[in-house]
Amino acid sequence: MNSIGMRYRTLMNKHPFLMFGLPFMAVIVAGSFVLTPATAVRYERYDRKVRQMTKDEELNVRRSARKVDMKEEYYRLAGKDLDDWEQKRVKRLPGENDGVL
């Protein structure tokens, strides 16, 4: 009584590519065809969130932006007191580990 495993092993020894290599390559190729639409859905969802601005929106953004002068920004940042600060904990979400032992 030959079992299926014994027959497979003898065929594998005689024809290794047909019994192992070809099915392996078929699974790889089929997997790429199956996963391609799944990844496309991911990028389509991202594209729905990001949209191109209309000309009116673009003009409103440009108008509301303040004028930047490099010297003025330098002096504004240099005038800040960076040595006097206090560390504050961020409020955690419910159920999130707060890291306090």
Rounded Cα–Cα distance for residues 9 and 13 (Å): 6
Q: State pLDDT tens for residues 14-34.
A: 999 998 999 999 999 999 999
Q: Measured between alpha carbons, how far apart are the two ends of the chain, in Å?
A: 65
Q: Which residues contact 12 (CB under 8 A, 6 or more apart)?
A: 19, 20
Predicted confidence band of residue 70 (pLDDT cuts 50, 70, 90): very high
Domain ranges of the chain: 4-63
Q: What is the pLDDT averaged over residues 33-52?
A: 84
Report the percent of the chain where pLDDT is more than 70: 98
Predicted pLDDT of residue 101: 66
Report the percent of the chain where pLDDT is more than 90: 22
Residue keyed to tokens 């932006």 = 65
CA 86 to chain centre: 34
pLDDT at 85 over 90: no
* Contact yes or no for 7/14 (Cβ under 8 A): no
Tokens of residue 71, six digits = 């010297």
Q: Is the pTM of this model over 0.85?
A: no
